[in-house]
Amino acid sequence: MRTAPTILHLDMDAFFASAEQASKPSLRGKAVVVGGLGPRGVVATASYEARVFGVHSAMPMAQARRLAPNAAYLVPRFSLYKEVSEQVMALLRALSPLVEPLSLDEAFVDLEAGGTAWDEGSARLAGVKLRADIRAVTGLTGSVGLAASKMLAKIASEQAKPDGLVLMEPGTERALLGPMSVRTLPGVGPATGDHLRRAGITTVEEIAEAGEDELVRLLGKAHGHALYAMALAHDERPVVAERETKSVSVEDTYDVDIHDRMRVGLEVQRLADRCVQRLRGAGLSGRTIVLKVRRYDFSTLTRSETLRGPTDDPAVVREAAARLLEAVDTTGGVRLLGVGVSGLADYTQEDLFAQAQAHAAAEEPADQEHPADEGSRESGASPEAPAERRWPAGHDVWHAEHGHGWVQGSGLGRVTVRFETPYSAPGRVKTFRTDDPELEPADPLPLVVPVVSPDALEHPGQGSSEPATLPKSRSGGGGEGAATSSP
């Protein structure tokens, strides 16, 4: 293992929710939950204010609403998250050419790969500067861990949350890890944690004291060896430059075979939700849903279904996995279940809403009246128009009179919009018909006010540094609640 803390792990703080708060002044300091808002939606990210109420990622959205009824519930804006992620990754690559992204908001960096000599002091300064640069460029915060290995750097960044930096000095790792929960170590989930607890092992120090042979007896050869090495702070895994992801999957092995068919189905749904969380975290969608089942006799079955188009809708993945399960005989018991998605593509916003709309349409009674349909009939629009006039909560809009805003909610032929930008004071709220011709979807604005050179101000048509998503007619005080630009 290295003698200097030159592995850096960055984890952005409550990334999706923090980006929404930075984008919407009226939500700063308030509980924000981002995820699928349908009856079977799940939480993608909760702000720290929402976590106080017990809301966390992968929780069913219905449960989150019960815990935090006054929170703002928003549909993800992956185009914004990917844009901010690219800014953050560019800052990491300025530190070192060897960067290993784990998701949109998380990455490892090998500082030594840049060819510079590093010690504890210079590594700490690099972490401090990185956090400051991220805040300046994106307006968001990230937590940094520095250590001599990937495992320790990730644990350090968890200890640093939120908005902090923790450096593990080489030689002190065992003492720092010892009192921590076994769940701190990578690969120790709820099932393994419970298994160790029943054996009287609850801390990392107790794992080390149990010895390798006992861990192999409890957990099997591969897991036992790996866990013992981690408890001794041994981790030789290198930082690997980004490579194309071919699939995203999750699986669980059960201490006791599952015989109840209903429970097997519930486990598959839970795994599907976790898989989608990873998929969305990587900014991806996929066409092929894969189900893996290892039965009581260790025989392993794999079934797959390819959809018409890519999706990251948890409802779509759950239903596909459930259909695949119907064709699998689980008589005798199940030892392992897994759900995966392959045939990956970069996330496109249309994927999510097209899938969600098709799913909702399939569930609704044929005679149910759609609020958007009501508005379109009154305006004489064609039946296809409502599909093009969706107003997801949290998404950006532009109004010819009031300027840039975001959707607070919609229904019954109406859409409520708050007009504000990342650079304004909290804005005012107005309600419109869903088919109002002056209201249209808009691109997200940058979270930090774009820098405009003095020359661009004197000659607006020449060399402006403003992005295309922020036309000059929209950046000033054109609407209620909007702030005028300052030179």
* pLDDT tens sequence across 335-389: 899 999 998 886 543 444 444 444 443 333 333 333 333 333 333 444 443 444 7
Give me the chain's average pLDDT, please.
84
Which residue intervals of 106-241 are DSSP H helices?
A: 120-138, 150-160, 173-177, 190-198, 204-210, 212-219, 221-231
Residue 443: pLDDT band with limits 50, 70, 90 = very high
- Report which secondary-structure segment, H or E, holds 99: strand 99-103
CA 3 – CA 26 distance, rounded (Å): 47
pLDDT of 144 > 90? The answer is yes
pLDDT at residue number 455: 56
Residue 222: pLDDT band with limits 50, 70, 90 = confident
pLDDT of 469 > 50? The answer is no
Residue 283: pLDDT band with limits 50, 70, 90 = confident
CA 284 – CA 278 distance, rounded (Å): 9
Residues with active-site annotation: 106
Distances (CA, A) of 196 to 173, 207, 232, 394: 22, 9, 17, 43
Q: Report strand pairing: 165-167 vs 284-295.
A: unpaired
pLDDT of 40 > 90? The answer is no
> In CATH, what number does 172-241 get?
1.10.150.20
Q: Which has the closest alpha carbon to 15: 105, 84, 79, 80?
A: 105
| Per-residue DSSP letter, 304 | E
pLDDT at residue number 117: 75
CA 384 – CA 373 distance, rounded (Å): 9
Sheet containing 300-311, strands listed edge to edge, beginning at the edge strand earlier in sequence: 247-258, 334-346, 284-295, 300-311
Q: Transcribe 247-295 into DSSP letters.
A: EEEEEEEEEEEE--HHHHHHHHHHHHHHHHHHHHHTTEEEEEEEEEEEE
Look at domain 247-349 and name its CATH class: alpha beta
pLDDT at residue number 451: 63
Which is more confidently placed, 386 or 315? Answer: 315
Neighbours of 84 (CB within 10 A): 27
Burial of residue 154 (number of CB atoms within 10 Å: 0-12, 13-18, 19+): buried
Percent of the chain with pLDDT over 70: 83
Choice among 12-16, 48-52, 186-190 with the minimum mean pLDDT: 186-190
Could you read off the pLDDT of 48-79 as tens digits, one per residue? 999 999 999 888 899 999 999 999 999 999 89
Which is more confidently placed, 115 or 248? Answer: 248
Which is more confidently placed, 455 or 39? Answer: 39
* 389 Cβ neighbours under 8 A, 6+ residues apart: 372, 376, 434, 435
**Which pair of tokens denotes residue 272?**
């599907």
> In CATH, what number does 1-170 get?
3.30.70.270
Choice among 205-209, 222-226, 382-386, 480-484 with the minimum mean pLDDT: 480-484
